[in-house]
Structure 1
Amino acid sequence: MSDHALIIVDLQNDYFPGGRWPLVGIEKAAANAGRVLAQFRETGTPVIHIRHEFETSDAPFFAPGSIGAQINERVLPENGEPVVLKHHPNAFRDTELKALLDGQGIRKLTILGAMSHVCIDATVRAAVDLGYDVTVVQDAIATRDLEFNGTDVPAKQVHAAYMAALSFAYATVVSTDESLER
């Protein structure tokens, strides 16, 4: 049994074109996520899907029971792969994720998905704080343009800043190709 798992965070329909909260670069990130997912499945390494739903129907995206809150077809769960439902950015908060990982003896995580600056950041930091060894697949993650205090921050810069911060003290940050070579 492997002590490694792939965690796919929030690759849900609302983040894709036509959704309520489309991300910059989501198509490329999803294609890369699909490549990593295929390798994990091929090697029989555990895969865990994280799905976010807000708790009220007036949410800006991921409304309960909506098509937008469903996992995108590019990374749909197969063969009993668990899906962890969360209501907060941190996939460990008020979920069974830690118990699921610990129950399988998993100590190493590869994390990808969306968004760089919220759920990926929160989940990676929590995982490291809980003692997991984390790898982040940076080009299998998407985000969006932001604004702060009158300054527009392009998604590319948002993503780069968060990957730089995570690689500094929290995780090994790699490309899809580097992940596939490991």
Structure 2
Amino acid sequence: MPRRALIVIDVQNEYVTGNLPIEYPDVNVSLANIGRAMDAADAHGVPIIVVQNFAPATAPIFARGSAMAELHESVASRERAHYVEKALPSAFAGTDLGEWLAAHDIDTIVIAGYMTHNCDDSTVRHAVHAGLSVEFLVDATGSVPYENRAGRASAEEIHRVFTVVMQSRFAAVLTTDEWIAALETGEPPARDNIYASNQRARSGGR
């Protein structure tokens, strides 16, 4: 069995009622699944690490001391084994997360929280480069839309593309239900690789 830890990233009010609302999947769905994942982890002895992001007090989002920077009640009300405060996208950057995982012999991290394409993705890649396995809960995470000089992308497009890329190399992408089932049965989640993912796309999925 993998020695897992559930990493709950930046589930803060800013993403729910603040200036950066999660649009896909629906934030109420992802919040419910984050809570379910935390409860399942607790029931199966999987340690939970809660991560919280802060920006300077004058920032438009995640301003230290603001109500929007506080953890959402669904996470704040649940037990955790460790707490990490960060200021960069990766939960490993400038924190003690890596040392805590090593001290507790964790070899697999499970990602829930926000945002799929930013802090989640950065943490996933950091973990892989550090030699850890990763599981990503596709319906307990989420994205926002962007528009800039490079173009425009909806939250759904961003979330979908990032998770497809994750499954191709960086993580096992699965639903919360699938992950809870894996905890109960011990079955490893399906993983993939770049070559097979590309070959399927080139052959039209055949």
Fold equivalence (TM over 0.5): yes
Q: Secondary structure at the match of 1:112?
A: strand
| Deviation digits for residues 8-57 of structure 1 (CA, Å, limit 9, x no counterpart) | 001111100x3122111221111111111110011221000010001x11
Find out whether 1:110 has 2:105 as its counterpart.
no
Structure 1 position 119, deviation (Å):
0.2
- Aligned position for 2:19: 20
Inter-partner Cα distance in structure 1 for 2:77 and 2:127: 22
- Supply the distance in 1 between the matched residues of 2:127 and 2:167 (Cα, whole angstroms): 14
Deviation of 1:107 after TM superposition, in Å, equals 0.7
TM-score (norm 1): 0.93
Q: Which residue of 2 aligns with 1:75?
A: 75
Read off the aligned partner of 2:41 and give its amino acid letter: F
Aligned-residue offset at 1:77: 5.8
RMSD, matched Cα:
1.4
Query: In 1, Cα distance between the equivalents of 2:29 and 2:80?
Result: 26
Relative distance call for 1:119 and 1:39 in structure 2 (3 A) is: same
Taking structure 2 as the reference length, what is the TM-score of the superposition?
0.83
SS at match of 1:48: strand
| AA in 2 matched with 1:156 | E
Moved more, 81-90 or 142-151: 142-151
Bigger-Rg structure (1/2): 2
Q: In the aligned structure 1, how far is the partner of 2:20 from the partner of 2:79?
A: 29
SS of the counterpart of 1:33? helix
**Structure 2: runs of 5 or more not aligned:** 183-206
For 1:82-161, what aligned pairs fall within 5 Å after superposition? 82-149=82-149, 151-161=151-161
| Distance in 2 between residues matched to 1:90 and 1:82, nearest whole Å | 16
- Structure 1 residues 49, 154: CA separation in 2 closer, same or farther (over 3 Å shift)? same
Paired residues, what number? 179
How far 1:79 sits from its partner (Å)? Answer: 4.3
Alpha carbons of structure 1 residues 79 and 115: separation in structure 2 relative to 1, 3 Å: closer
Percent of aligned pairs with the same residue?
32
1:112 touches 1:136 (CA, 8 Å); kept in 2?
yes
The separation in 2 between residues aligned to 1:86 and 1:98, in whole angstroms, is 13
1:166 matched residue in structure 2: 166
C-alpha contact 1:49 1:77 (8 A) present in aligned 2: no
Q: Provide the rounded CA distance (Å) in 2 between the counterparts of 1:177 and 1:171.
A: 17
SS in 1 for 2:36: helix
> CA, structure 1 residues 80+145, in 2 after alignment: closer, same or farther (shift >3 Å)?
closer
